[in-house]
Amino acid sequence: MSVATRSRAAESPFRSKGDVDAAYFCDREAVQQELAGALRSMKSVAISASRGYGKTWLMRLTLRQLERQGFLTAYLDLGYVHSPLQWIES
C-alpha cells in the first residue's frame, strides 16, 4: 500500500448532509415518479417513514426534477414547528 493511499480516508457511500445526488438512491424511481406525478397534478402529498429513510432527499430530488421541467417549487421544513403560534413567531 502506498503512502498516498494510506493518507486518503475511504469515502463512505452513506450521505446524511449536502446536496442531493440521484446516484445515492436505490430502487426509488417508481416512488419518485409517483410523487412527481402527484405534485404535477397539484395534489397534497404526505411522505411518512422512520427517520433516516431518505424522505427529505426524495422530496428535494423530485423538486429538482420538476424545476428542470419548468415548475416553480418551494421547500419548507416544518419539522421543528409544533404549533401555529410557533409558526407565526418564527
**Residue listed under C-alpha cell 403560534:** 85
- Compute CA distances 7 → 4, 13, 16, 69, whole Å: 5, 19, 23, 43
Q: Single out the residue of 41, 77, 71 nearest to residue 59, CA to CA.
A: 77
pLDDT top residue among 53 and 40: 40
Task: Determine the pLDDT at residue 46.
Answer: 85
Residues 6+ away with beta carbon under 8 Å from 9? none
Q: How confident is the model at residue 18 (pLDDT cuts 50, 70, 90)?
A: low
pLDDT tens string 44-57: 888 888 888 888 88
Model pTM? 0.64
pLDDT tens column, 60-76: 899 999 999 999 998 88
How many angstroms from the chain centroid is the CA of residue 39?
15
